[in-house]
Amino acid sequence: MLELSMHILDIVENSTRAGATLVLIAIEEDPEKDRFRVEITDNGPGMDEETRRKALDPFFTTKTVRRVGLGLPLFRQATRMTNGSFSITRGTTGGTTVSAEFQRSHIDRQPLGDMASTLETLIAGNPDVDLVYTHGKEGESYTLDTRQIREELGGVPLNHPEVLRAIRDSVREGLREIKADR
């Protein structure tokens, strides 16, 4: 995967397949401390200790359609190549949190990629799952919360083409406003 947004897409898809109904995606850019952090938390059943240990083995997967699970190992490798850190934790009441931190200025840090299209894809494919995306940079932040959008739409599905287009445009504009689109 060449962009961080593709890692995020993969992890959120894993969360929804595991039964999560709410996924929080938080990105925090701190140019002053030279850090770039991605954290994805879901309310699914969580991984048991054995699965969590095996999750970083590229030859382990819970999917039945293939025999390898490269998503998490590749994401971890991306952090290691940039003087970063990676962790997978289970909440006390279930759920899973994947945290990845990168040296922001490192030449090998993958670009974020097109988060607007990534979120559009996730919502289109999982219209009943709630996503909260927060992106912070230098004291400014942008948040997209599908629970609020769903309430405002009054029954119009999130995966309606016009709704998806509006969400994509909102994310692009929000990231542009906080200068996180560069």
Token representation of residue 11: 């992890």
Task: Write down all domains in the chain, each with its CATH number in brackets.
Answer: 4-177 (3.30.565)
DSSP conformation class of 92? B
**What does the alpha-carbon distance between residue 118 and residue 45 come to, in Å, rounded to a whole number?**
24
- Tell whether pTM > 0.75: yes
Model confidence band, residue 58 (pLDDT cutoffs 50, 70, 90): low
Above pLDDT 90, what percent of the chain?
76
Q: Is the pLDDT of residue 61 over 90?
A: no
Q: List, in order, residues 6 or more apart from 150 with CB less than 8 Å away.
A: 130, 158
Each residue's pLDDT tens digit, 87-117: 999 877 789 999 999 999 999 999 999 999 9
Phi first, then psi: give them for residue 126, nearest 5 degrees: -140, 60
Q: For residue 65, is pLDDT > 60?
A: no
Tell me the C-alpha distance between 14 and 126, whole Å: 12
Distance between CA atoms of 45 and 55, rounded to whole angstroms? 15
Is 16's pLDDT higher than 60? yes
116 neighbors 164 (Cβ within 8 angstroms): no
Q: What is the mean pLDDT of the segment spanning 22-48? A: 95
- 36 CB-contact burial (10 Å; exposed 0-12 / middle 13-18 / buried 19+): buried
Residue 59 has pLDDT above 70, yes or no: no
Bridge partners, 145 (sequence order): 132
Considering just the CA atoms, what is the radius of gyration of the chain in Å? 16
**Residue 40: predicted pLDDT:** 97
Asked whether residue 68 carries a pLDDT value surpassing 50, the answer given is no
% of the chain residues with pLDDT over 70: 92
Q: How far apart are the first and last CA of the chain?
A: 19
Position 67 scores a pLDDT of 44
pLDDT 10s digits, 119-162: 999 999 999 999 999 999 999 999 999 999 999 999 899 999 99
The secondary structure element, H or E, covering residue 121 is helix 115-125
